[in-house]
């Protein structure tokens, strides 16, 4: 057997790093190794413009759409809105007009009902309803509002009725009885007489909530006049059809 089998196969015993330098790719033929070692090179730099974009983990956590939008969509009270009726349908829509208006107002919780009445009368004046066309009937409390509203409606002298009052929740069930009877009684007055009756009665847990809703007086005026105009248009349409 040959003695060469016992010898190492490497012709030159050099460190691993030196051997890598000897075989470095030198396309220009200059015979010089690059200044930086290959293993020292960092990852490829991002293209221009990429550095301005924050990394995903650095982006602020976004609030889900449903959590961000719902509070803005919902208000503390009923929100006003517009209806979009498709073309081709007959529409009868009322507008606040100058008409004879009856106003029934409760004296109970007078500090609140006085302000409701003032705002209601201001709104009537703003809409062009003169004082001579308005009749105000004070009653003891909210429970008596339906009786006065029914009496006014049955005279047929008024196109609509505005009912104003304030019922504050107390420690007894009295609140539920009065508020419920006032609401159902006023609705019944309108149904039985065909005269629109607007509900401007505050039913709140405390006085602070009531003060936040004092514009209900003006709102009730607009509601009553709008419904009165709708009823007038319906009667006119029925008369034309019958004629």
Q: What is the structure's pLDDT at 216?
A: 98
Residue 103 Cα distances to 134, 156, 188, angstroms: 7, 14, 17
Task: Report the b/e string of 177-186 with b at 16+ CB within 10 A.
Answer: ebbeebbebb
Domain boundaries along the sequence of the chain = 101-242
Give CA–CA dist 204/179, Å, rounded.
10
How many CA atoms does the CB half-sphere of 7 hold within 13 Å?
A: 9
Residues 6+ apart with CB under 8 A from 161: 101, 102, 103, 104, 149, 152, 153, 189, 190, 195, 196, 197, 198, 224
What SS3 class is residue 210? helix
Give CA–CA dist 35/37, Å, rounded.
7
Give the distance, in angstroms, between the CA of residue 57 and the centroid of all CA atoms in the same chain. 34
The residues annotated with a catalytic role in the active site are 174
Q: What is the structure's pLDDT at 242?
A: 74
Does pTM surpass 0.85?
no
> What CATH class is the domain 101-242?
alpha beta
**pLDDT means per 10 residues in the chain (243 residues)?**
49 48 50 53 55 53 42 44 78 72 97 98 95 95 97 95 97 93 97 97 97 98 95 88 71
Residue 227 Cα distances to 159, 200, 218, angstroms: 9, 14, 15
Q: What is the structure's pLDDT at 161?
A: 98
């Amino acid at each position: 057997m040959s003695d060469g089998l016992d010898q190492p196969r490497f012709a030159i015993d050099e460190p691993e790093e030196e051997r890598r330098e000897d075989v470095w790719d030198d396309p220009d033929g200059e015979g010089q190794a690059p200044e930086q070692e290959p293993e020292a090179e960092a990852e490829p730099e991002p293209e221009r413009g990429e550095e301005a974009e924050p990394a995903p983990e650095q982006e602020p956590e976004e609030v889900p759409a449903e959590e961000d939008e719902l509070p803005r969509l919902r208000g503390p009270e009923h929100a006003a809105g517009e209806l979009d009726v498709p073309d081709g349908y007959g529409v009868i829509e009322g507008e606040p007009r100058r008409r004879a208006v009856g106003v029934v107002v409760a004296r109970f919780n007078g500090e609140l009902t006085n302000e409701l009445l003032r705002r209601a009368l201001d709104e009537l004046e703003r809409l062009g309803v003169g004082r001579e066309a308005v009749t105000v009937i004070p009653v003891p409390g909210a429970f008596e509002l339906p009786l006065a509203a029914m009496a006014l409606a049955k005279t047929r002298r008024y196109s609509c009725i505005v009912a104003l009052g304030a019922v504050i929740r107390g420690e007894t069930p009295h609140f539920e009885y009065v508020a419920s009877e006032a609401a159902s009684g006023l609705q019944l007055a309108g149904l039985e007489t065909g005269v629109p009756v607007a509900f401007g009665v505050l039913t709140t847990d405390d006085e602070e909530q009531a003060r936040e809703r004092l514009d209900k007086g003006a709102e009730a005026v607009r509601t009553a006049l709008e419904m009165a105009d709708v009823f007038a248009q319906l009667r006119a349409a029925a008369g034309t059809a019958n004629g």
